[in-house]
Structure 1
Amino acid sequence: MNLAQRVGSARTPWPDLLAATEHLDPPFAVLDVAALRTNAHQLVRRAAGKPIRVASKSIRVRSVIRDALELPGMSGILAYTLPEALWLAEEHEDVVVGYPTMHREALRRLASDEELASRITLMVDSPRHLDLTAEVVGPDGPPIRICLELDVSLRLAGGRLHLGARRSPVHTPEDAAALARQVAAHPRFQLVGLMGYEGQIAGIGDNQPGLSRFAVRAMQHRSAAELAERRAAAVAAVRSVASLEFVNGGGTGSLELTAAEPAVTEVAAGSGLLAPRLFDFYTRFHPQPAAYFVLSVVRRPSPQHATVLGGGWIASGAAGKDRLPTPVWPPGLSLVDREGAGEVQTPLVGDRVDDLGIGDRVWFRHTKAGELSEHVDQMMLVDGDRIVDVVPTYRGEGKVFL
């Protein structure tokens, strides 16, 4: 799969996708290579010259990660667990673990392998992380690379209102500098990076239906302005303690805003490659859906209903209808409110139900990106009207990291 290839004009994918997969038995998952390629180029354009670190959590298919990293403008991996990072670092030289780890066996392996230690950076946000890691890795061996995570949420009303993901307790430049000094005090640790993920901007669409989108836009505008100033001060404070190799920020939904901050040296993205339903509601960018899963109609319990086998591929996050998968082909179908998407069966209603017979297929989109890979062993890569490759997911390679 060549993501660097020139992208074409907008297209209607359904004739090609249907023709390429008509011989397959559901359930199966599909990646539309043309859409994937378009999305990759769009991400690079939005990053405006800042390198994009590929977020593996949002893909979980090694071949897709590998192909993305061959595209000029993408460099390095943002992993989500240390065992995953050790696996990926067997072939990639720059892997940052985006979340703190307490996996002792993985830490011991990292600490005993000079090459892996040079390729992997751990995330910390508290002195306790440092102390527990030091206890496991011991005083002798190659240096352990450390990245600090800065809390980049928006706090209002004296901190009583918190808008953003609850990740790090390190919020102020003073907090960051204090933790940086504690990293520097450990003889085996090497402070190389600072990271902050502004989920209140990157992960919330500013064009949702209804009046709430205006409140979201106002919040994001205020948050971006506050964060640019605070992050720059935090970077300066940490650089007074150590020479940083990178300052990572953002996500798919905030690339152009984060990349515009002079203090940021790289941005992170992954979901934007697959463009799940979560990214249908942004004014700043419009990716093409690239990932689907396909189920069979196995029942017609009434003239108003068609039931597919399976479907309960629910996205993580606060429970709600926006976590459910969405039927997208044939058009005009929807879930039944009282049943939603079931583990073994999902009834559908809508104007096109009459067109569905037992054995027909229904195509769905997942709300999120990488979580789709936890439900299938392989992805069908479709380019034009043919399957050009069949590639294993993490699950297909026998890997389950969370």
Structure 2
Amino acid sequence: MAIERDLLRDRLDRATAHLDPPFAVVDLAALDTNATALVDLAAGKPVRVASKSVRSHDLLTRVLRRPGWRGVLAFTLPEAIRLVRAEVSDDVVVAYPTADRAALAELAGDPELAAAVTLMVDDPAQLDLVDAVRAPGQRPELRVCLDLDASWRPLRGVHVGVRRSPVHSATAAGAFAATVAGRRGFRLVGVMAYEAQIAGLGDAPPGQALRGTAIRAVQRRSYRELLARRGAAVDAVRQHADLEFVNGGGTGSLAATSADPAVTEVTAGSGLYGPTLFDAYRAWRPVPAAFFACAVVRRPAPGVATVLGGGWVASGPAERSRLPRPWLPAGLRLVGTEGAGEVQTPLTGAEADRLRVGDRVWFRHAKAGEVCERVNELHLVDGEAVVAAVPTYRGAGWAFL
């Protein structure tokens, strides 16, 4: 492993010798390897790419050209509209409900957009907001998807998973589907249930064997419960709607979710870049494909090398797992009292004394996609050369959240 990382460092350094840090790269061979592996894990079911985890028009297009990938799961309605207009996809599901009136007006005023974009809903108030923007008789029929809460609630007051939709039971799903069916101007075409407590939670946290055992036990029981409830909910919804798709899963649960007979498609995105959070998974670990480089600018003491910048912290709970990880050269670590700083990041470890001013340290981000909010372009590395520089959302002037 150490030798492989040394070779990777040498290759990335040679390929980007003409660039000045900070900058970000994507290793195309690793990206393509991950894309193939994710399709294999999906076992014949189409994979919808999560744009939040990619945030580059060019790379989304590259992935969607590959066999087994179909459609986009976007994170905002304005983003979905941009992706359709840019001809990235004509099948874009918005993963979260929207209250963006301007974007809703644009969607409702364009029949082609309305046919390509599916809104996420879980509350009649969201339908009311759409109607307030453009009345049913004055717009094309809008496609909607029901967000079924996939959290596990083994006991009253116990909630395992993220807090998403209020629609949890099969009965509630059927009732909501009936509500949508009774409303003019909407067509319920899909159900989504994202099991974050399985897909988004590593079951083998490094150095925490007991916690890993507990997580795996919870995930097994949660999966069995969801398997039955999701199937019942889909059956209840089908009594009121002709569903086109039932979506579920993420990189961390692709194989398990694909095995659910109620699911017709799965979603993945993070596994394309292979961020550090996915080092904590047993079933499948992506090849690291996305990196960012920072330059050593000072040597404040023996055993310490400080890089400029580096504080590209991921969203989620404020804990160490959300910090970027110095990856190349191997053997570096953050300083506990400083972490990753906005303007400087001191690093210690066996390799720190070998670093000199001007050398590069390669980091991996904790989460996929968010690194793109820090740079205007991604340098695409093929072998020992940068073959292209493609804009990120930020570089294209796309700011959505």
- Measured against the shorter chain, the TM-score band is over 0.9
User: Which of 144, 147, 150 does residue 146 from structure 1 map onto?
Assistant: 144
Q: Which residue of 2 aligns with 1:223?
A: 222
Q: C-alpha separation between the residues in 2 aligned to 1:134 and 1:245?
A: 23
Deviation at 1:379, TM superposition (A): 0.4
For 1:117-196, what aligned pairs fall within 5 Å after superposition?
117-139=114-136, 140-158=138-156, 160-196=157-193
Query: Equivalent residue for 2:31?
Result: 36
Superposition deviation, residue 207 in structure 1: 1.1
Tell me by how many angstroms 1:127 deviates. 1.1
Q: CA deviation at 1:195?
A: 0.3
Residue 52 of structure 1 aligns with an amino acid whose one-letter code is V
Specify the code of the residue in structure 1 equivalent to 2:24: A
Moved over 3 A (4+): none
Task: State the alpha-carbon separation in 2 of the partners of residues 219 and 365 from structure 1.
Answer: 29
Q: Distance in 2 between matches of 1:303 and 1:13?
A: 26
- Residue 136 of structure 1 and its aligned partner are, at CA, apart by 1.1
- Residue 69 (str. 1) matches residue 53 (str. 2): no
| Residues 149-194 of structure 1: CA deviation (Å, up to 9, x unaligned) | 0000011212x11011100000001111111111111110011000
One-letter amino acid of the counterpart of residue 176, structure 2: L
What residue is the counterpart of 1:337 in the other structure?
336
Query: Is residue 286 of structure 1 aligned with residue 285 of structure 2?
Result: yes
Equivalent-residue separation in structure 1 for 2:36 and 2:20 (angstroms): 32
Name the structure 1 match of 2:55. Answer: 60
State the one-letter code of the partner of 2:130. T
- The aligned counterpart of 1:346 is 345
Q: Secondary structure at the match of 2:340?
A: coil
Q: Deviations over 1:74-108 (max 9, x none)?
A: 00000000000000011121000000000000000
Structure-2 residue corresponding to 1:81: 76
Q: Which runs of 5+ in 2 are unaligned?
A: none
Q: How many corresponding residue pairs?
A: 392
Partner of 1:45: helix, strand, or coil? helix
Is the counterpart of residue 400 in structure 1 residue 399 in structure 2? yes
- The residue type paired with residue 150 of structure 2 is V
The 5 A counterparts of 1:107-118 are: 107-118=104-115
Kindly provide the CA deviation profile for residues 4-30 of structure 1, in whole angstroms up to 9, marking residues without a partner as x. Answer: xxxxxx995333212101121000001
C-alpha offsets along residues 119-145 of structure 1, whole Å, 9 cap, x if unaligned?
000000111111111111212221100
CA distance in 2, matches of 1:13, 1:399: 32
Normalised by the size of structure 2, how large is the TM-score? 0.96
State the one-letter code of the partner of 2:216. R
- The percentage of aligned residue pairs carrying the same residue is 58
Does structure 1 retain, via aligned residues, the 8 Å contact 2:77–2:94? yes
CA distance in 1, matches of 2:53, 2:356: 34
- Shift, 1:270, TM fit: 0.3
Distance 1:241 1:398 in 2: 41
Deviations 1:332-377 (A, max 9, x none): 1100000001100011111111101111110000000010000000
Superposition deviation, residue 305 in structure 1: 1.2
State the distance in 2 between where 1:230 and 1:387 align. 48
CA RMSD of aligned residues (A): 1.0
Written as runs of structure 1 = structure 2, the 5 A alignment for 1:222-241 is 222-241=221-240
For each residue in 1:38-73, what CA deviation from the matched residue of structure 2 results, as whole angstroms up to 9, or x when unmatched?
100110000000000000000101111001001110
> Aligned equivalents of 1:14 and 1:68: distance in 2?
25
The alpha carbon displacement at 1:331 in A equals: 1.0
CA distance in 1, matches of 2:44, 2:11: 34
Measure, in 1, the Cα distance between the counterparts of 2:132 and 2:191. 23
Q: What residue is the counterpart of 1:295 in the other structure?
A: 294
Residue in structure 2 matched with residue 16 of structure 1 by the alignment: 11
For residues 180 and 257 of structure 2, what CA distance do their matches in structure 1 show?
Answer: 26
- 1:200 alignment counterpart: 197
Structure 1: distance between partners of 2:155 and 2:188: 33
Measured in 1, the distance between the counterparts of 2:241 and 2:121 equals 15
TM-score (norm 1): 0.96
User: Is 1:261 the counterpart of 2:256 in the alignment?
Assistant: no
Counterpart-to-counterpart distance in 2, 1:142 and 1:93: 16
